[in-house]
């Protein structure tokens, strides 16, 4: 992967408990880290495999290796939220991570 392919800004968010202005504990999404990413839709065999389990809204994000990322987080990209379904440290080289995430339906 070339550095110029990492041209989209994404924000990883962590679900955590914070204390609000009234002193009450509230569970909310908090920004963990903002990163450059390559973003692609699934295609070919990956797309059809996702369609079988009704996960067609899955997007693949490729970022530089970053510690502390797990499936409990979500991604904010272009105003949409994506729940992380899998994380792959490509070839265990600690250079790039491929994250598959499914768009969250906000229709209620």
In a domain, 108, yes or no: no
Residue percentage of the chain with pLDDT more than 90: 71
What is the residue range of 65's domain? 3-103
Q: What is the mean pLDDT of residues 74-84?
A: 95
Domain-embedded: residue 73? yes
pLDDT at position 108 is: 45
Instruction: Give me the residue label for tokens 């502390």.
Output: 68
Q: For the domain that residue 36 is a member of, what is the CATH number?
A: 2.40.10.270
C-alpha pair distances (Å), 96 with each of 42, 77, 79, 86 = 18, 19, 24, 14
Question: How does the average pLDDT of the chain come out, rounded?
Answer: 87
Q: What is the pLDDT averaged over residues 61-71? A: 95
Cβ neighbours of residue 48 closer than 8 Å, sequence gap 6 or more: none
Query: Is 84 a residue whose pLDDT tops 90?
Result: yes
- Total domains in the fold of the chain: 1
pLDDT in tens, 21-54: 999 999 999 999 999 999 998 655 555 555 554 5
Distance separating alpha carbons of residues 31 and 37, to the nearest angstrom: 16
């Amino acid at each position: 992967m070339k550095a110029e392919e990492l041209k989209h800004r994404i924000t990883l968010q962590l679900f955590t408990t914070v204390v609000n202005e009234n002193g009450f504990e509230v569970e909310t999404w908090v920004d963990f880290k903002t990163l450059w990413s390559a973003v692609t839709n699934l295609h070919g065999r990956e797309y059809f495999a996702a369609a079988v389990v009704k996960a067609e809204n899955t997007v693949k994000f490729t970022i530089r290796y970053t510690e502390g990322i797990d499936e409990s987080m979500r991604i904010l990209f272009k105003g949409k939220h994506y729940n992380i379904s899998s994380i792959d440290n490509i070839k265990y080289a600690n250079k790039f991570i491929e994250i598959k995430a499914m768009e969250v339906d906000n229709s209620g």
